[in-house]
Amino acid sequence: MLRRVSADQAITSQQLSVLGSLDHGPRRMTELAAEHGVRLPTMTAQINRLERDGLVERGRDVSDARVVTAALTATGRERLAAGREQRIGFLAERFAVLTDEERAAVAAALPALDKLFTAP
């Protein structure tokens, strides 16, 4: 559902997800690939597109110059914020039509959903 909402964005939901992974600072390419469940060449291609579009910049790990990292650019941070804002707005509209009881049921389900979707 959220993918359909962001279909008119200039970047894909997968690219937005990668930008979100970089929100707290540079990350190793291998870490990004593992986090997103893809092989390193797939993540490299994704980072290539994001770098081409000025959303990400490559760097080197300070402790090991052989390690390639990726970091958000200012434009990437703006694009991430816009994508999040759009998704949050959509969800807020959807929650607004729920009754108080339905919202309470969703809130009660959150701990179980967190347990279900959090990696062990």
Q: What is the pLDDT of residues 2-14, one digit of tens each?
A: 667 666 677 888 8
More confident residue, 98 or 6: 98
Pairing assessment for the beta strands 27-28 and 56-60 based on DSSP bridges: unpaired
Mean pLDDT of 78-83: 92
Residue 22 has pLDDT above 70, yes or no: yes
pLDDT, mean of residues 70-95? 93
Each residue's pLDDT tens digit, 105-119: 999 999 999 999 886
